Amino acid sequence: MPNQDTPTPSTTSEPVSAGRTALIWMGRLVVAVAGLAAAGVVSVLMAVGIALAVAYPNLPDVTGLADYRPKLPLRVLTAEGQLIGEFGEERRNLLTINEIPEVMKNAVLAIEDARFFEHSGVDYRGMIRAALANLRQAKSQGASTITMQVARNVYLSAEKSYTRKIYEVLLTFKLEHMLTKEQILEIYMNQIFLGQRAYGFSSAAQIYFGKALKDVTVAEAAMLAGLPQAPSAYNPIRNPRRARARQLHIIDRMVENGFITAEQAEEAKSEELKLRPVGSATQVHAEFVAEMVRQSIVSQYGEEAYTRGLVVTTSLKQAEQLAAYRAVRQGVLDYERRQIYRGPELFIDLPSDKAALDEAVDDALTERPDNDDLLSAVVLEAGPKRVVAVRQDGEPFEITGEGLKPVQSGLSDKAGPNIKIRPGAVIRVVQTNNKAWRITQLPDVESAFVAMDPRTGKVIALVGGFDFQKSKFNHVTQAWRQPGSSFKPFIYSAALEKGLTPMTVVNDAPLFYSADATGGKPWEPKNYDGQFEGPMSVRRALAKSKNMVSIRVLQLVGTQSAQQWVGRFGFDIDKHPPYLTMALGAGSVTPMQMAVGYGVFANGGYRVSPTLITRVADHKGKVIYEAPEPTLTESQRAIEPRNAFIMNSLLQEITRTGTAARAQATLKRTDVFGKTGTTNDSVDAWFVGYQPTLVAAAWVGYDTPRNLGSRETGGGLSLPIWISFMSQALKDVPVASYAPPPGVINVGGEWYFEEFGPGNGVHGLGLQDPWPGAAPVAIDPTVSQPAPTPIPPVEDRRGILDLFRN
């Protein structure tokens, strides 16, 4: 029997030995892996160290950021400092950190980098938080600090790679070492892209809200602070819902970080934001002026004009410019209402699905954007008495009654397919003062208006056309048009030097020049109304714009002499051939030239060149150029003061009893002077006039010259534009008068040159010529009659010059 003390083999010894072996191997494996990991970490650290050692010397020099100079646009201002134009790839208005309001800084810090003033450039706590959030969500969450964004935006590309990230971190440390936190934040607030070509929050505040950054509210600051992450996605104009959601989130973050109270947050969330419409680049409609300045500055400074932050102040006055803009638009639209309806601008298919319909409407109206108060809309229903249309807001509205009168031809059953207003038609509508809608159309006709101070030449208002976006052609300076009867005062001015007086009697009798006299076809000029009134005074003849009288006056002067005389007023004499047709305004002028010319009468005889740019400064306010204050000198003398004085008397008569009598009657002031002008077949319509402190020219016509309408005249088209402007511009200006200068006398209530008083000047012109229905006129044999001036050869004349009107 075996001894009980003798050990017996255990049945579990083999498994125990195997487990220990496994544990040993596992431990060795762990040690090996740990060793490899450590070696890997060391290798990575060595690699990173080598990479850093290699990369750091290649980092860009950031010392220049201490004197931060980004690309700053060319900015154009009114005399009061109101922005009217901005040119450059980047719209930016540089502000110092002290000029940026706390509410804007707090909104940005709340959403972009709440611990900005605590970390050293890289927020490790934020990186861990973002990493954990990314594990929980499919959508990644960024962890870039403001310093890292500055490093990336200023020096690096948007490429996503480890190499770029390494450079970004290194640059971040370098920036934090070289600059203060305030400097870094200032750069960020001025540099970041915020959509709509806006760089920096100051520019964004102007573009999105039309206000200075210092005036933004908590709600507006929160909306702007949401833009850096994705300017397109959170654009409040194009994506209002997404922008609103992000704004609310930022307001909550501002509360969490103690920047605002809960009460302030609730107030901000309930605030209704007033966004600036898309395309409203300026509050003052002076696009033509801004373009004139741009061309001038670029010619002086080259391409760097767009990047060095030049600020150009003009002589333009904000209120007067707005008055001119509104006057031109109103005048053109009043004319347009008298024209035949040309039909809708576009036709689209209307899907039955609501979402598809909204998209189709949105696309169509994007293609045909609003033109200020001329709004685009899509027709949903159309009938002779009722039209239903919709705009991009999706709310249908009705047009009935008076609102359909301008387009009755387009609602008729007989209307052609391109004229018919039907569902899917893209039309133009305006809202009247009583909130009713009216259908209209974009005008084809053009207009121009310019006003300047005749004493200084400073341009205070300029509208180069109806719509700058439609046509950038500046009709004030670039359109060479025939002035018609508005040119007559310059001929009469020349005649005063030849002995003509306001009481000289001139025969308004027919004139006829045979083919032998002209060297070609016969020429028989006419008066506007086709009537001849016989002998009348120069004063009455000019007031009634009698063509036959003007021709006889030019014969007295002589065409060669008259050509040289008009050059005194700033006209190109080459564009005014020395023919009798000059008396009827057959040459070519620009509206700016006409304003300068009439300014000579207004200021007592001085020709003053127009000026627009008064100052140029850099972005820090250092003045680079400043125009000297203009003064009138004898070197600018064009005509004698007495000539200007008597012409003022004659031009005043026109606004009192003549073709422009509406001027004094409407403005209820006597110190307005001017002359209407309408060319043959109503191709060009003018009124040019002045008050002693302000001269202005208004013109209406088609770019491709054609008839404006048989009843359209300068008095009916351009004079109302001039009156509308002057009613605003002269509102607080006292009534002025001209003091008689030396060399004139008053006899019987009429003014004369001293040497050409009654009995000494030209007594009469053409009095021997018969006029229809008149008895024979006795001729004073002691008064010589001037010989006729030759008529231009037929090859030098144009048929359209034969008939000119008032």
pLDDT digits (tens, 9 = 90+) for 537-547: 999 999 999 99
| Pair 229, 201: CB distance under 8 Å | no
Rounded-to-integer distance, Cα 552 and Cα 768, Å: 12
* Residue 400, strand partner residues: 386
HSE, side-chain direction, 13 A CA sphere, residue 761: 26
Inform me whether the pLDDT recorded for 494 exceeds 60.
Answer: yes
Inform me whether the pLDDT recorded for 404 exceeds 60.
Answer: yes
Mean pLDDT of 203-217: 91
Residue 18, C-beta contacts closer than 8 angstroms, at least 6 positions apart: none
- Taking only the tens place, the pLDDT of each residue in 724-740 is 999 999 999 999 999 99
Inform me whether the pLDDT recorded for 346 exceeds 80.
Answer: yes
**Host H or E run for residue 172:** helix 162-178
**What is the predicted pLDDT for the residue at 781?**
45
Mean pLDDT of 203-221: 92
Cα torsion through 99, 102, 107, 108, rounded to 10: 40
Rounded-to-integer distance, Cα 763 and Cα 800, Å: 33
- Taking only the tens place, the pLDDT of each residue in 635-693 is 999 999 999 999 999 999 999 999 999 999 999 999 999 999 999 889 999 999 999 99
Query: Token pair of 138, please?
Result: 């499919």
* Residue 507, strand partner residues: 535
**What is the predicted pLDDT for the residue at 520?**
65
**What is the predicted pLDDT for the residue at 774?**
60
pLDDT-wise least confident of 118-127, 350-359, 604-613, 714-723 = 118-127
Rounded-to-integer distance, Cα 421 and Cα 408, Å: 9
Mean pLDDT of 394-415: 91
- Taking only the tens place, the pLDDT of each residue in 757-771 is 999 999 999 998 887
| Pair 104, 221: CB distance under 8 Å | yes
Mean pLDDT of 211-224: 95
pLDDT-wise least confident of 70-84, 153-167, 200-214 = 153-167
- Taking only the tens place, the pLDDT of each residue in 749-801 is 999 999 999 999 999 999 988 877 665 545 454 444 444 444 444 334 333 33
Inform me whether the pLDDT recorded for 343 exceeds 50.
Answer: yes
More confident residue, 633 or 469: 633
- In 3D space, the residue among 753, 770, 771 whose CA is nearest the CA of residue 762 turns out to be 753
Please identify every residue annotated as catalytic: 112, 485
**What is the predicted pLDDT for the residue at 230?**
82
Mean pLDDT of 384-389: 94
Q: Is 56 exposed, middle or buried (0-12, 13-18, 19+ CB in 10 A)?
A: middle
| Pair 613, 312: CB distance under 8 Å | yes
Inform me whether the pLDDT recorded for 606 exceeds 70.
Answer: yes
Q: Would you tell me how many other CB atoms lie within 10 Å of the CB of residue 745?
A: 15
HSE, side-chain direction, 13 A CA sphere, residue 130: 14
| Pair 293, 86: CB distance under 8 Å | no
Inform me whether the pLDDT recorded for 11 exceeds 50.
Answer: no
Beta-strand pair 505-508/534-537? antiparallel
Mean pLDDT of 448-454: 98
| Pair 532, 506: CB distance under 8 Å | no
Rounded-to-integer distance, Cα 51 and Cα 47, Å: 6
* CA dihedral sign, ordered 714, 718, 720, 725: negative
Give the C-alpha distances (Å, rounded to integers) separating 690 from 481, 596, 606, 646. 20, 11, 15, 15
Q: Buried b / exposed e across 601-610, counting CB within 10 Å, b at 16+?
A: bbbbbbbbeb
| Residue 684 identity | D
pLDDT-wise least confident of 116-125, 136-145, 750-759 = 136-145
**Host H or E run for residue 452:** strand 446-452
pLDDT-wise least confident of 97-111, 181-195, 415-429, 498-512 = 181-195
CA 210 to chain centre: 15
Give the C-alpha distances (Å, rounded to integers) separating 803 from 250, 484, 558. 71, 9, 21
Query: Token pair of 560, please?
Result: 């060669």
For the chain, give the mean pLDDT: 86
**What is the predicted pLDDT for the residue at 697?**
98
pLDDT-wise least confident of 35-39, 331-335, 345-349, 606-610 = 35-39
**What is the predicted pLDDT for the residue at 238?**
73
**What is the predicted pLDDT for the residue at 373?**
87
| Residue 294 identity | R
Mean pLDDT of 270-290: 78
Cα torsion through 556, 558, 564, 570, rounded to 10: 50
pLDDT interval class at 171 (50, 70, 90): confident
pLDDT interval class at 196 (50, 70, 90): confident
pLDDT-wise least confident of 165-169, 235-239, 247-251 = 165-169
HSE, side-chain direction, 13 A CA sphere, residue 336: 22
More confident residue, 254 or 630: 254
Longest dimension (CA), the chain: 184
Rounded-to-integer distance, Cα 606 and Cα 557, Å: 22
pLDDT interval class at 275 (50, 70, 90): confident
First-to-final CA distance of the chain: 153
**What is the predicted pLDDT for the residue at 199?**
84
Query: Token pair of 128, please?
Result: 């861990």
Quote the Cα angle for 135-138-144, to 5°: 70
Q: Can you tell me whether residue 640 is helix, strand or coil?
A: coil
**What is the predicted pLDDT for the residue at 516?**
63
Mean pLDDT of 553-570: 97
**What is the predicted pLDDT for the residue at 49?**
58
- Taking only the tens place, the pLDDT of each residue in 309-330 is 899 999 999 999 999 999 999 9
**What is the predicted pLDDT for the residue at 656?**
97
- Write down how long the chain is: 806
Counting residues of the chain whose pLDDT is more than 90, the rounded percentage is 60
**What is the predicted pLDDT for the residue at 64?**
53
Cα torsion through 198, 202, 208, 212, rounded to 10: -150
Query: Token pair of 762, please?
Result: 């030209």
Residue 232, C-beta contacts closer than 8 angstroms, at least 6 positions apart: 195, 238, 239
Rounded-to-integer distance, Cα 305 and Cα 71, Å: 10
**Host H or E run for residue 746:** strand 744-747
Q: Can you tell me whether residue 389 is helix, strand or coil?
A: strand
